[in-house]
Amino acid sequence: MRPSKDESYLNLAEQVALRSTCIRRNYGAVIVKEDEVLATGYGGPPRKTINCDKIGFCYRDRLGVRKGEHYEFCRAVHAEQNAIIQARRLDMLGATLYLVGLDAITKERQLDAEPCRICRRLIVNAGIERVIIGVSKDKTKTHLVKKWVRNSLWEFQKVKGQLIPILPPLSLCEPIDEERRTRLISRFALADAIVVQTNSFENRKQTVGRAAARFFVTNVKSGSSVALSCGDTILSLIESLSYQSHLRLNIHQLSVEGDPATIHQAPATLVGLLRGKCSPQSRVYGLQLPPLDMSSLSAKIREELAGSPFLSKLRKKVLSSDYVFIGVGSVDRSSASFWAMAQAAVGGNFTHYVKKLNIVGEINNQVFDDVGTDRTKEVPALSKYMVNVSSLSDIRSMAGNYPRHKIVMVASGPEKTRAMRVALEAGFANVLISGRDDADRLLNS
């Protein structure tokens, strides 16, 4: 069958892309006006400099930079830029730019191929009228450049009658330690690990939180279901997220709690905060219990909730989640929030249970011993403050079903090393996000 003109020029752009030397993506661009090819371009470093495929690594990969960010660290001149600088602006007025992006390894067309924001500015100033992108062999998408101009090069979403810009999520580019990442994956049979440098105790949680936020925006897609545990590292993750108004998520909580002292990091609070960072059309399923000092009401609600259809439905939603973000805590005074709650629950003698049951850590206020056995039911007083939606056995089962479920452990700190090691060896997570010092302690323990 004879291809259309658009298909012909996109096929040409694809052939041009094969000349690209980028080891992440291969892009090719063709500028056409009145059926005349004005210029072609592909991505690669400036003339007479060493090609990236000869160097063997990408500096932006080494820095852990996401797609679409920090092109000042990129050696390449983009395909669109190379095509534009080879043609006169007078010739390009009203022209069409055809663009194809290929995976550097498989050479398949990429569904998310788009001009970066720098290239969009050049396309506008070149006078080009349309950009046609070949996202697959039988599918294209077209951008009218005048719409970019009207929106000042930003994408907007209408919320309650107002246009709100969809801002690109920015990271602070803490470098990812590839050597430690590889060793952690091998040691604990993980699907992935992110290891970042933490410079001080004060910024440790913030740095790991930013790394977790970077993982979130890179991997979590619109339509995904996300479940959250309690904890300050999960709170730091959400605080580090920029406004992701394009993400429409289903958000669930791993437990239902009622301790006023920790309400800022309780799952009900965290799922609400996450929804505030995403599309208003995201759905949250969960609730917060009344505080313990409302004893009669609190006990009655807990008893009714434990056997209610609501809890059963929430549990099914949690167990079907695509992503589960969990924190890990120690069970001593260094974990102030959990320690205070546990002490209050058992009448000030939680140390007795720690020694008797060999408890070393907790996930979502559920405790486990030095071989990863769930001991929560043997400390029944803990249920005064919460109703568990899913058990540690549920979490372990989900973690064993990768890539259907991504159980992401976000944790850092010397006081958590033993708990983290046992949790990883017990299979409570298949992705780890932590600091370089944490990785060293885990690998040497």
Nearest of 406, 40, 25 to residue 219 by alpha carbon: 406
Give dist(CA 415, CA 324) in Å, integer: 23
Give dist(CA 156, CA 316) in Å, integer: 35
Alpha-carbon radius of gyration of the chain? 26
Other residues' Cβ atoms within 10 Å of the Cβ of residue 216: 24
Give dist(CA 132, CA 112) in Å, integer: 13
Tell me if residue 246 falls in helix, strand or coil: coil
Instruction: Give the distance from CA 283 to its chain's centroid.
Output: 18
Annotated active-site residue 108? The verdict is no
Nearest of 200, 146, 142, 210 to residue 176 by alpha carbon: 210
**For strand 431-435 and strand 406-410, is the pairing parallel, antiparallel, or unpaired?**
parallel
Nearest of 179, 209, 218 to residue 440 by alpha carbon: 179
Give dist(CA 209, CA 413) in Å, integer: 13
Query: C-alpha distances in angstroms, 294 versus 198, 259, 289?
Result: 42, 11, 10
Catalytic residue among 14, 34, 36, 80: 80
The residue assigned the tokens 């005064």 is 384
Q: Which two tokens stand for residue 431?
A: 């992705």
Side-chain half-sphere CA neighbours of 412 within 13 A = 30
Give dist(CA 224, CA 250) in Å, integer: 6
The DSSP code sequence of 282-315 is -EEE---PPPTTSHHHHHHHHHHHHTSHHHHHHH
What single DSSP character describes residue 329?
B
Instruction: Give the distance from CA 374 to its chain's centroid.
Output: 28
Q: Which two tokens stand for residue 183?
A: 């060793």
Please list the active-site residues. 80
